[in-house]
Amino acid sequence: MSKLPVMEIFGPTIQGEGMVIGQKTMFVRTAGCDYSCAWCDSAFTWDGTGKDSITQMEPEQIWDELKRLGGNGFSFVTISGGNPALLKNLDGLIKILKQNDIKVCLETQGSKWQDWFFQIDELTISPKPPSSGMLTNFEILDTILDNLKARTMNQNVSLKVVVFNDEDYLYAKKVHKRYPDIPIFLQVGNEDSRTTDDQVLISRLLDKYQWLIDKAMLDDDLQNIKVLPQLHTYVWGNKRGV
């Protein structure tokens, strides 16, 4: 028995964030997080509001559900949460995905290491800036990124920092300075991840994107930087399961 706490399985959709933005992908969202970010857009995975949606699933059942939803139309699965890195036994799911020639992407915040990180094709580590209310344990983050130096050429690792304000921006610069060899993405923060007024939301997010671009483009410290929106929010607003 190696069941995993699953909050939702959805797709196919596009990966809206980070280094594989635009990639056609299925999503598996696990339940539970060791953080509680002030602005978490997936708080239902950890704040109790989604507890009735949590299903304990065997990896085979997750694979069956992915096939039911995605048929033969996908070759990429993104695992997010919550923090999937809380789950020691996630390797069972990764194994089945690999056996079926599926590329695997993981979203995690860099607070926990798992040996199965080495099996992830596209690993995004997203340490949290001050506006989240969380404190980064840089010793753990150092260890994770140090461990990953032993990875194979086939595995991509990137950092992604969500930026809401000037303080967050300085934090992102600090992260880049500490790990200059890891590709880093700045991501627009969504201040209102609950509103259903898409027009207002999108217009605010566009302003925020422009603000972030303007800052980064004028900054000599950030020569090799990528600045991205959360693309899915510009298409579907705060809708869940897309």
Ligand X SMILES: C[S@@+](CC[C@H](N)C(=O)[O-])C[C@H]1O[C@@H](n2cnc3c(N)ncnc32)[C@H](O)[C@@H]1O
Cβ proximity to ligand 2KA: between 13 and 131 the closer is 13
Considering the complex, state which of residue 5 and residue 64 has its C-beta at the smaller distance from ligand X: 5
Answer whether 188's CB lies under 8 Å from 212's CB: yes
How many other C-beta atoms can be found within 10 angstroms of the C-beta atom of residue 19?
A: 20
Q: Residue 208, interface with ligand 2KA (CB under 6 A)? A: no
DSSP state of 127: P
Q: How many CA atoms lie within 13 A of 95 on its CB side?
A: 8
Tell me which DSSP letter residue 128 carries.
P
**According to CB under 6 A, which one of 160, 171, 209, 212 is a site residue for ligand X?**
160
Looking at the Cβ atoms of 114 and 126, the one nearer to ligand 2KA is 126
Of residues 32 through 91, those in contact with ligand 2KA by CB under 6 A are: 42, 80
Which residues make up the interface to ligand SF4 (CB under 6 A)?
A: 33, 35-37, 40, 42, 45, 81-83, 109
Identity of the residue, 162 or 216, whose beta carbon is nearer to ligand SF4 in the bound complex: 162
94 phi and psi, to 5 degrees? -60, -40
Q: Is 102 annotated as a binding residue?
A: no
Q: Is residue 40 a known part of a binding site?
A: yes
Is position 15 annotated in a ligand binding site?
yes
Q: With binding defined as CB under 6 A, does residue 134 bind ligand X?
A: no
Do 95 and 131 meet the contact criterion of CB atoms below 8 Å apart?
Answer: no
Query: Tokens 């992908």 identify what position?
Result: 25
**Token output for 18:** 């980070």
Q: Taking the CA atoms of 146, 150, 153 and 155 in sequence, report the sign of the dihedral they define.
A: negative
Q: How far is CA 21 from CA 132, 158, 231, in A?
A: 23, 12, 8
Q: Are 94 and 122 a contacting pair, CB within 8 Å?
A: no
Of 10-18, 108-116, 131-139, 166-174, the window that binds ligand 2KA (rule: CB under 6 A) is 10-18
Binding-site residue numbers for Mg(2+) are: 42
- Binding positions for [4Fe-4S] cluster are 33, 37, 40
Binding site for ligand X (CB under 6 A): 33, 39-42, 80-83, 107-109, 126, 160, 162, 187, 189-190, 193, 230
> In the complex, which residues of this chain contact ligand 2KA (CB under 6 A)?
13-17, 42, 80, 107, 232, 242
